[in-house]
Amino acid sequence: MFDSGVGGLSVLRAIRRQLPSASLRYVADSAHAPYGEKSVDFIRDRAERIAAHLVGQGATVIVVACNTATAVAIDELRRRWPACSIVGVEPGVRPAVAASRNRHVGVMATDATLRSERFRALVARESDGCTMHLQACSGLAAAIEQRDLKDPVLADLVRRYASALREAGVDAVALGCTHYTFVSAAIEQSLGAGIRIIDTASAVAAQVARVCQAKEGAGAEPGCRLETTGDPLRLAQFAARWLDFDLEIAAAPVSL
């Protein structure tokens, strides 16, 4: 699995709940976060390097635990590694539409996700006539990556983006970036009562479980190892707060 940083740990946590004895390897590309404000070529290049690294370690299932990398790079990854199952993460437009009563649906995501063709196609396919309010949350993933979750700068960003959606009158919001899960309580508070938040981590984990069952007999050692291109200490602190199982943490190879 990989993400631009710590965001995908929300997906890792959900996968671990459903597959407690899976062999999990996670790369946090924190030295290159945020992806959401980078070019498509840059994100594709990072996704391909990291996928090659994971395949080199024996991965047969790759989870792109990042909406942004899924939006711009998953087709490329599937073309390059046809023998691997590659599972992506997309904003939960369909469940948000299903949860909405007033037919005004919000999506919080990175700029790169909202601009992507893949996301536009998802909205065209799943919005079912609802008015979609697309909120690019510039700086939010970077703040979650770098700051304390109680930091006032982070709280301000959450308030700003959530109030814009509240004022637009949405009653359901899809969290379209895996980092945002870690501030979902603050988002919920800023949105106010009566607005449903949709996070797809458990649905993705269920899909990963189905894919892994179909590949039974892979026989890898159970356990969880995290690597980061950034600061292993920062990743360790984050993991200690959010993950309640044993894991190994290491620096990713410098060549990555």
Query: 150 with 73: CB under 8 angstroms?
Result: no
Looking at residue 3, what DSSP letter applies? E
Nearer to ligand DGL, 95 or 223 (CB): 95
Which C-beta is closer to ligand DGL: that of 25 or that of 179?
A: 179
- For tokens 């919005």, name the residue: 127
Q: Which amino acids are annotated catalytic?
A: 66, 177
Task: Report in angstroms how near the CB of residue 139 gets to ligand DGL at its nearest.
Answer: 9
At its nearest, how many Å lie between ligand DGL and the CB of residue 233?
20
Sequence-separated (6 or more) residues with CB below 8 Å from residue 220 = 23, 58
Whole-angstrom distance, CA of residue 105 vs CA of residue 98:
10
Residues that bind ligand DGL (CB under 6 A): 3-4, 7, 33-36, 66-68, 110, 113, 141, 177-179
Q: 249: part of which helix (H) or strand (E)?
A: strand 248-251
Quote the least distance from Cβ 159 to ligand DGL, whole Å. 19
SS3 for 61? strand
Residues paired with 172 in a beta bridge: 105, 196
**Shortest Å distance, C-beta 1 to ligand DGL:** 12
Please identify, using beta-carbon distances, which residue of 171 and 239 lies nearer to ligand DGL. 239
| Smallest separation, CB 28 to ligand DGL (Å) | 10
The DSSP-derived string for 76-133 is HHHHH-TTSEEE-----HHHHHHH-SSSEEEEEE-HHHHHSHHHHHHHHHH-TTPEEE
Q: Name which of 100 and 178 has its Cβ closer to ligand DGL.
A: 178
Cβ distance to ligand DGL smaller for residue 68 or 207: 68
